[in-house]
């Protein structure tokens, strides 16, 4: 097969009740000039309540932008994102916390936003991030690894129907990386995922569909292995 074409990419096999996310005519343009080409446009797809969708594309095609738009961290230029299930912010997204606050205060803020018991939430975040006394330090003084641990801990402390993942970063040692994978892909095996990644081994293992973005257009693949083959071909071209 050749490059993905511009036909709307939609999971048509889903019933209305099964649809957890509906994306309609989505587009994003960064340049201010009206003649500037869009990063992507007219993207249409749905995600079911138990789907594991991979967003694939070469660097610069808009994968991370797509995840940020779905998570509400970035506004689209055009189109609509309609969530019918609860969704996370992008897993590990540093924008999930405030740098001048301590790790503890960030957990307290999250507890208020999601109306959760602070002590319970603190136990979950601290137990996962394994930062110990560093939780009392302002986050802006954390190393990049510590910030990533806190971001993962905050992201996974709240249960969502769908998790957004932007290139699952290898954080910490092998033991901690296994812990991240177990939390996401085993303990949350019945939850939906939308994941942008270059790691085809993980994509092939945990995803069942893929949306490939190329040249501002997109195509949906219901065969994940076919999608991986096409994406591999695009990267090599």
What is the pTM for the complete model shown?
0.84
**pLDDT, tens digit, 9 for 90 and up, residues 31-71:** 766 677 889 989 999 999 999 999 999 998 999 899 999 99
Query: What's the pLDDT score for residue 237?
Result: 79
Residue 207 · residue 52 · CB < 8 Å? yes
Strand order in the sheet with 78-83: 40-48, 19-28, 78-83
Question: Percent helix, strand and coil across the chain, each rounded to 5?
Answer: 40, 25, 35
Helix (H) or strand (E) holding 149, with range, is: helix 144-157
Residue 40 · residue 213 · CB < 8 Å? yes
For 186, counting Cβ atoms within 10 Å of its Cβ (0-12 exposed, 13-18 middle, 19+ buried), the class is: exposed
Q: Is the pLDDT of residue 172 over 70?
A: no
Residues of the chain with pLDDT > 90, as a percent, come to 55
Q: Work out the average pLDDT over 185-202.
A: 90
The per-residue pLDDT of the chain, averaged, comes to 86
What three-state secondary structure class fits 56? strand
Query: What's the pLDDT score for residue 5?
Result: 42
The confidence band for 161, taking pLDDT boundaries of 50, 70 and 90, is very high
Query: What's the pLDDT score for residue 12?
Result: 47
76 vs 71: CA distance, rounded Å: 11
Query: What's the pLDDT score for residue 1?
Result: 40
Give the least confident one: 24-33, 52-61, 167-176, 197-206.
167-176
Query: What's the pLDDT score for residue 175?
Result: 80
In sequence order, the 6+-apart residues with CB closer than 8 A to the CB of 185 are: 205, 206
Q: How many CB atoms lie within 10 A of CB 215?
A: 15
Q: Work out the average pLDDT over 153-159.
A: 87
Q: Work out the average pLDDT over 197-209.
A: 91
């Amino acid at each position: 097969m050749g490059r993905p074409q511009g036909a709307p990419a939609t999971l048509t096999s889903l019933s209305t009740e099964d649809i957890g996310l509906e994306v309609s005519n989505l587009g994003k343009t960064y340049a201010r000039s009206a003649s500037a080409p869009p990063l992507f446009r007219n993207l249409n797809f749905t995600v079911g309540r138990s789907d594991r969708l991979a967003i694939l594309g070469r660097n610069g095609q808009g994968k991370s932008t797509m995840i940020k738009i779905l998570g509400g961290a970035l506004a689209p230029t055009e189109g609509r994102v309609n969530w019918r299930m609860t969704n996370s912010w992008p897993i590990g997204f540093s924008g999930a916390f405030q740098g001048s606050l301590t790790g503890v205060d960030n957990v307290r803020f999250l507890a208020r936003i999601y109306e959760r018991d602070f002590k319970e939430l603190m136990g979950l975040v601290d137990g996962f991030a394994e930062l110990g006394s560093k939780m009392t330090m302002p986050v802006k003084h954390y190393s990049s690894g510590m910030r990533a641990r806190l971001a993962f801990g905050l992201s996974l402390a709240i249960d969502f129907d769908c998790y957004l993942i932007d290139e699952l970063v290898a954080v910490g040692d092998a033991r901690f990386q296994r812990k991240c994978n177990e939390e996401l892909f085993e303990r949350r095996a019945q939850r939906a995922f939308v994941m942008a990644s270059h790691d085809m081994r993980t994509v092939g293992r945990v995803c069942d569909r893929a949306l490939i973005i190329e040249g501002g257009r997109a195509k949906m693949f219901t065969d994940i292995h076919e999608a991986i083959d096409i994406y591999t071909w695009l990267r090599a071209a």
